[in-house]
Amino acid sequence: MWIESYQELGRHPKAKRLSRLLGEPLPSAIGRLHLLWWWAVDYAPTGELTQYTWDDLADAVMWEGDPEKLFRAFLDAGFIDEELDGSDTRYWIHDWMDYAGRLIEKKAQNAERKRRSRGRRINTQTSEDTRHADVTRTSRGHAEDVPLTSSDVTRESQGYQTQHNQTQHNQTKTLSGGERACAREEISLELHQLLGKAPSPMQVELMTAYLEPGIGMEIELVKRAIRAAALKNKDLNYATAILKKQHERGIKTVAQAEVDDAAHQAAIASRATERTQRGTNRTRDKPIDPDPRYANFYALFPEEAKP
């Protein structure tokens, strides 16, 4: 994944100020700044840095000096913003949504392209798989392999392709001004419940982006992910991870998410049953060794040593 970098950065007063504050050459300071952005793509996708320590940021940009000096330099140079929220202070990467919004859209396009490619491969393979009784493949986005019958593969490839086609219009539909304002208000209320405070505009914008063309999720699915994070006492990154995985699997509605969750839970239950059955069979087949403390007794009465 790439992030935009403007050629004027090398001559920008803010970059030169950062170089002076860090006490290192301008090219090195620009390198630190890019390391921060690259790190944030994976570990701070909302752009908020409040949850991280000075040491975390120092590790992110490979800084071996004083971590506080590094943080203050980014702050004073204007690459990190400070936001007062009542008695709390929160920190954000400056203008992060100018980059994150484009990144989200780019990731969505890549995920959609990969999903379509997987769908084509499944459709091609299904005609061959139906000649066999069973097939095994990796489940959708889950960690372990799930045994599926050939009919399951057929139903899955057809069902998810149908669901995708039913919601295809969402990828090209652009929210009107009124629709977007209503969506932002609804998402803001959900985020307030999750965070215990009013969300920042950047946080609201990040979640609203999942409704835009290129992703096209329904708002109830986004709200569902936020509620899931709240129920597990997680942060916004947790909700973002849920939505990212759902998009990679072509899920755009709550109905599709519920079907996917049910299939995943059924697969987990099936694997647990199989493990239990294997353990029971091993226990049943394993001979019971006679207690060595009663060797003489068993020698006289060998029938007592039988299980």
pTM above 0.85, yes or no: no
pLDDT tens, residue by residue, 288-304: 555 565 566 556 656 65
What whole-number distance in Å separates Cα of residue 241 and Cα of residue 248?
A: 11
Calculate mean pLDDT across residues 193-200. Answer: 84
Q: In this model, does residue 20 exceed pLDDT 80?
A: yes
Q: In this model, does residue 194 exceed pLDDT 60?
A: yes
Q: What was the pLDDT predicted at 111?
A: 63
Q: Which fold has domain 12-94?
A: Arc Repressor Mutant, subunit A (1.10.10)
pLDDT tens, residue by residue, 159-175: 444 444 443 444 445 56
Q: In this model, does residue 17 exceed pLDDT 90?
A: yes
Calculate mean pLDDT across residues 211-227. Answer: 89
Q: What was the pLDDT predicted at 219?
A: 92
Contact 27, 11 (CB under 8 A): no
What whole-number distance in Å separates Cα of residue 209 and Cα of residue 225?
A: 14
Mean pLDDT of the chain: 75
Contact 101, 214 (CB under 8 A): no
The type of residue at 284 is R
Calculate mean pLDDT across residues 259-282. Answer: 81
With bands split at pLDDT 50, 70 and 90, how would you rate the model's confidence at 75?
Answer: very high
Closest CA to 257 of 213, 221, 217: 221
Q: Tell which wins on pLDDT, 57 or 284.
A: 57
Task: Dig out the tokens for 30 from the structure.
Answer: 């620009």
Q: At 276, is the secondary structure helix, strand, or coil?
A: helix
Query: What residue spans define the domains of the chain?
Result: 12-94, 97-256
pLDDT tens, residue by residue, 27-37: 999 999 999 99
User: Is residue 286 packed enough to be buried (19+ CB in 10 Å), middle (13-18) or exposed (0-12)?
Assistant: exposed
With bands split at pLDDT 50, 70 and 90, how would you rate the model's confidence at 225?
Answer: very high
Residues contacting 28, CB < 8 A, separation 6+: 19, 22
Q: In this model, does residue 255 exceed pLDDT 90?
A: yes
